[in-house]
A and B are shown apart, each in its own frame.
Chain A
Amino acid sequence: MAGTSDIKELLTRNLRTSGIYIAFVFIIVLFTILTGGQLLSPGNLTNLVLQYSYILILAIGMVLIIVAGHIDLSVGSVVALTGAVAAVVVIGNGMPWWMGVLAALGTGVLVGLWQGFWVAYVGIPAFIVTLAGMLIFRGLTMQVLGNVSLSPFPREYQYISGGFLNGLLGGDGYDAFTLFLAAALVVVFGIQEYRGRLAKLKYKQQVEAFPLFWVKIAAVALVVMAFAWQLAHSRGLPVVLILLAALVLIYGFISQRTIFGRHIYAMGGNLQAAKLSGVKTRRVNMWLFVHMGLLSAIAGIVYSARSNSAQPGAGNMFELDAIAAAFIGGAAVTGGVGKVHGAIIGGLIMAVMSNGMQIMGIDQSTQSVVRGVVLLIAVAFDVWNKKRSQGGA
C-alpha cells in the first residue's frame, strides 16, 4: 500500500471529518465579514476562549460518552454542584484555594462513581440515570449553597479562568512569551508529523505527497501563529487555554491510542461483539463516567472562577450545548463514531456563531433558532453522508 495520495483523495476519503473543518472555516469567514472583522480582533478572540472554555471541556467527555452509546444529561447540574462545593470550602470556610479545587474534583469523581455504578452494574440506561442525576445534583447544589449565591473567590482561584501568562519574556505592546510558546508548539507539531510520516513509510503505508505534507504543516503553523499573534496583542496567553489544550491532547490520546479508548469505540460499535472479545464492559462504563465526572468538575471550577461566584442556577442547559457540540463534530447518534477534536470543532462552531451573533446585536431568541437549525443540518449531513457511503457497498 506504499504510495502517496493527493489533496482530492485526502478530502473525499473522509468527508465526514473534512466536512466539519470546511464548515468551520466557512462560518469563521462568514462571521468575520458580517461583524466587519471584529470576530477576529485580539480582544474578542481572547473573550471567545474564556467564554466557551467550559463548554469545550464538557464536550471532550460528552463525545466519549456518546461514542460508547450513552448520553449524559447531568453535566450542567454537576458543573453547578462542583462549583458550589469549591465555594463552600474556599469562601464559606476560608480554606486555601487549592483545597476548593481538590474538593470540587473529588465531588466530580464521586458523581462519576455514582452514575457509573447505576449504568454499569445495575444496567439502567444512561439517559435515565443522568436525567435523575440532573435533578439530584441540582437539588444538592441548592442545599450546599443554602439557596444563595456565594462570592467572591480569592484572586488565586479566579486566576484559573481569568489569568493570563503575559510579559514573561517581555515585548513591546505584544507578549513575546505567547508567540514563543506558539512557535515552539508549531515546531514540535512539525517534528511529530515528520516522525509519524517516517514511521508510516517504514511500515510501507500510504502517506500524502511531500509538497502536500509541507502545505499542511505550513497551514497549521499559519493558523496557530496568527491566533497567537492576536492573543499576544491582547492580554497574553489565557491560563484556561493551556488547560483546555492539555485536556484535548490528553483525551485525544486516551481515545485513540489506549486500550481503554479502543474499548469505548468497540462497545459503541457492537456491544455484544465487544463483550465476546474480552472487553470488560462494566469496568469501561464505570471509568467512562468517572472521567465525565472529573471533566464536569474541571468545567465547574473554570465556570465558578470565571463568574467569580457559585450560584444555585449555574450551568443550566450546559449539557445541551455539550451534546450539540459532540453531534455537530461528527459523533453518531447510534454510538461507535466520534472524535474528541471533532467535538472541539463542533463546540467552536457553536461558539463562533453565538459570539458573532452577539457582536451583531442579534437577540437571544434568534440566536437560539439559528443554533438549533445548525445542529439539525449537521446531523442531517451526517445521515446523508452515511447513506452515500453505504450506497457504495
Chain B
Amino acid sequence: MTENILEMRSITKRFPGVVALKDVSLSVDEGEIHAICGENGAGKSTLMKVLSGVEPAGSYEGEIHFRGRPVSFADINDSEAEGIVIIHQELALVPHLSIAENIFLGNEQARGGVISWHETNARAAELMARVGLHEKPVTPVGQLGVGKQQLVEIAKALSKNVTLLILDEPTAALNDDDSEHLLGLIRTLRDESGVTSIIISHKLGEIAAVADATTVIRDGSTIETIDMRVPAEERHTLVPRIIRGMVGRDIDSLYPERSAEIGEEILRIEDWHVGHPTQAGRTVVDGASLSVRAGEVVGIAGLMGAGRTELAMSVFGRSYGRDISGRAHVHGKEVQLRTVADAIDAGIAYVSEDRKQYGLNLIQDIRTNVTASGLKKILNGFWLNGNEEIAVAERYRSSLNIKTPTVMATVGKLSGGNQQKVVLSKWLYTEPDLLILDEPTRGVDVGAKFEIYTIINELAEAGKAIIVISSELPEVMGLADRIYTLSAGRITGEVAAQDATQEHLMELMTMERE
C-alpha cells in the first residue's frame, strides 16, 4: 500500500550564476496527496520542471525513480507517457474552443485523421462527470469561471490516464466554494482511482486539511517531510511547523505591531460615482465617501466585483471608468485628479493588484522600474543621471530587501514577492503622502508577506496615509486601524479594527441594496 511511486534523489540543478536546487530529495508514496511548501523562489517550480521533463534529463544532477524504475525525460511528452501530468498556475486552455476540444487538444479522438465529434463529446461528458463539471461539452471554455476551467484541466489530465497529478497553486485564483470542490475532487481521485497528487500551495490551512504528507523546501534544499496523518489533538502544530520550515524562523505574530501617530487628513472623497467604462448606464461605484489620515492604515474589504479596484483606480487619475463624479480633497483642499500624473503630483500612489499587467515593465531591469514614476528626480539639467539612478535602485534594494544579485537584473525573472517589492520601491520613490495598496500580498509567500506588512507599518509610522484593499479578512483586520466595507459599489459600513469580527464584516460585505 505505501510503496513509493516517485523518488527523486539528490537533485541538483544549476542555472548560470545560481544553484536553484541543492541536493533535493523527494519521496512520494503511491496514492497519497503530497504537498510541497516553500517561499517563492525556494525551488518548488524548478523541482516540478525537472520532474516533468521541462528541464530535460542531463541538465541536472541526481536520479528520478518512478514506479521503481529509473527514468529520464527529454521533454514533457516523455513524462506524460508515464502518466505524470502537470497543471500550471496559468491554465493552458484555449478560450474559444469547447470544453471537449480542450480536453482532447493534442490528443484528438480521430479515425484516419478525421475527428470523430461524437466520440469526442461523449468521452468528454464521461470525464466531466468524473470531475463534477456540470456543463455541456460544447460550451466554449472562455465562458466558464476559473474554478470550472481548473476542472477542465483535471479532466484533460484524466484523459491522459494520469497516475501522478501535479497541481501548481491550484486554488490561488479560486473562491472558497470552488477551492473546496477542487480539493474534494483530488481526495476522490485518490480514494476511488488511486491517483497520486502533488500540490504546490501557499494556502497552509488548505494543505493541513488535504495533504497526507508535506515536504518543505527552502533556498533550494529539502528541509523536512512532515507526516500530516497525526491525531486530531496534534493537528494545530502542523501549520506553525510548516511555516517554521519555510522561513527558517518562528513568526510569532503574522501582523507586526505598529505605533503610528494619526495626524491630519490626507484624502477625503465624497459622493463618488463611477460608471462602467463600456456598459453605459451601469454604475460600478455608487456614492462612496471615505477618508484617510496621516499615519493611519485604512482597510477596504469587499468581495470580488464589489468595486474595490474600480474605486481606487478611478480616484487615481481616472484610470478606470467614465462619468466619474464626486469631490476629492487632498490635505483638505478640493482637487481635480484628471490624469495619473495629476494624482502622482498630488502625492497619491496606487500599487495595482496585478503587478505583471499594470505594475511592471517585465522586460526591463530593476533600476528602470524603480525610477519609472520618479524620473524627474534624477534629472540633471536635461539629462538623466544614470549613476544616481543605480544608486537609488540600490538604496531600495537594501532597504526593502529585494533579493537579487544586481539591480540590473530583469524584473520578469524575480519571484512574486521580490517583484512586489520592486513595485513598492517605484511608488515609494515618488514620495507619496498616500499609498493605495491593492491586494499587496497576492501571490506572495509567507516570509515576504511578513516583510511587506512590516514595510506598511514603517510607512504609517513615517506619517504616510495607507489604504489597503484585500479580500483576505484576517489581513485587513490585522493591518488596518479602520475598515470600510464595500458591497455592490456602495460603502456599507465603517468599523474600527478593534471592534471588527470576521462575521460582522462579512455581513456588511454581503449587504444587499434595500
Contacts and interface: CB of A to CB of B under 8 A. Distances in A.
Interface of A: 1, 199-200, 202-203, 205, 253, 256-259, 262, 265-266, 269-270, 272-280, 332, 336-337, 389, 392-393
A53 to B, nearest CB: 27
Interface of B: 15-17, 316-317, 319, 339-341, 343-344, 350, 352, 357-364, 368, 372-373, 375-376, 379, 382-384, 386-388, 390-391, 394, 406, 410, 412-413, 426
B382 A258 contact: yes
Given A262-B368, A265-B368, A393-B412, A276 B359 contact: yes
A202 B386 CA distance: 13
Given A277-B340, A278-B340, 15 more contacts: A1-B406, A203-B388, A257-B386, A258-B384, A259-B379, A262-B372, A273-B357, A273-B359, A273-B360, A276-B316, A278-B341, A332-B363, A337-B363, A389-B410, A393-B412
Nearest to B15: A392
A337 B359 CA distance: 18
A102 to B, nearest CB: 25
Contacts of A389: 410
B350 A336 contact: no
A275 B319 contact: yes
A332 B426 CA distance: 25
Nearest to B341: A278
Contact of B361 (A253, A273, A332): A273
8 contacts: A269-B361, A273-B372, A276-B319, A276-B350, A276-B352, A278-B339, A278-B341, A336-B363
Contact of A276 (B340, B383, B384, B406): B340
Contact of B384 (A257, A272, A275): A257
Nearest to B352: A276
Q: Which 8 A-B pairs have the closest CB atoms?
A: A269-B361, A203-B387, A257-B383, A277-B373, A278-B341, A278-B340, A259-B375, A393-B413
Given A203-B390, A265-B364, A276-B358, A392 B379 contact: no
B359 A205 contact: no
B372 A266 contact: yes
Contacts of A202: 387
A268 to B, nearest CB: 9
Contacts of A256: 384, 386
Contacts of A199: 387
B151 to A, nearest CB: 29
Contacts of A1: 394, 406
B340 A270 contact: no
Contact of A273 (B17, B358, B375, B379): B358
Contacts of B17: 392
Contacts of A259: 375-376, 379, 384
Contacts of A278: 317, 339-341, 343-344, 373
Q: Which of A266, A273, A274, A336 has the most CB of B within 10 A?
A: A273
Give the one of A202, A256, A278, A279 with max B CB within 10 A: A278
A7 to B, nearest CB: 17
Nearest to A261: B384
A262 B364 CA distance: 11
B364 A336 contact: yes
A81 B361 CA distance: 38
Nearest to A201: B387
Contacts of A332: 363
A154 to B, nearest CB: 36
Nearest to B386: A257
Given A257-B386, A259-B379, A277 B426 contact: yes
Contacts of B343: 278
B320 to A, nearest CB: 10
A350 to B, nearest CB: 26
A300 to B, nearest CB: 28
Nearest to B430: A278
A272 B350 CA distance: 13
B16 A392 contact: yes
Nearest to A335: B363
B361 A336 contact: yes
Contact of A258 (B362, B383, B410): B383
B35 to A, nearest CB: 24
Contacts of B412: 393
Q: Which of A277, A336, A337 has the most CB of B within 10 A?
A: A277
A278 B348 CA distance: 11
Contacts of B16: 392
A279 B360 CA distance: 13
Contacts of A393: 15, 412-413
Contacts of A276: 316, 319, 340, 350, 352, 358-359
Contacts of B361: 265-266, 269-270, 273-274, 336
A274 to B, nearest CB: 7
A258 B388 CA distance: 14
Nearest to A281: B340
A277 B410 CA distance: 18
Nearest to A199: B387
A140 to B, nearest CB: 35
Given A262-B368, A265-B368, A393-B413, A205 B360 contact: no
B120 to A, nearest CB: 33
Contact of A280 (B341, B362, B363): B341
Contact of B383 (A200, A253, A266, A273): A253
A279 B341 CA distance: 7
B356 to A, nearest CB: 8
Contacts of A203: 387-388, 390-391
B44 to A, nearest CB: 14
Of A200, A259, A332, A336, chain B has the most CB atoms within 10 Å of the CB of A259
Contacts of A205: 387, 390
A276 B361 CA distance: 11
Contacts of A272: 357-358
B387 A269 contact: no
B386 to A, nearest CB: 7
A256 to B, nearest CB: 8
A330 to B, nearest CB: 13
B90 to A, nearest CB: 14
A278 B340 CA distance: 5
B355 to A, nearest CB: 8
Contacts of B340: 275-279
With most chain A CB atoms within 10 A of its CB, the pick from B317, B341, B375, B376 is B375
Contacts of A262: 368, 372, 375, 384
B410 to A, nearest CB: 8
A86 B347 CA distance: 50
Nearest to B359: A273
Nearest to B344: A278
A205 B362 CA distance: 23
Contacts of A265: 361, 364, 368
A280 B339 contact: yes
Residue in A269, A272, A389 with the greatest tally of chain B CB atoms within 10 Å: A269
A66 B316 CA distance: 29
A34 B331 CA distance: 73
Contacts of B368: 262, 265-266
Contacts of A280: 339, 341
Q: Which of B17, B361, B412 has the most chain A CB within a 10 Å cutoff?
A: B361
A280 B379 CA distance: 18
A204 B361 CA distance: 26
Contacts of B386: 256-257
Contacts of B382: 258
Nearest to A260: B375
B77 to A, nearest CB: 18
Nearest to B372: A277
Nearest to A391: B15
Contacts of B413: 392-393
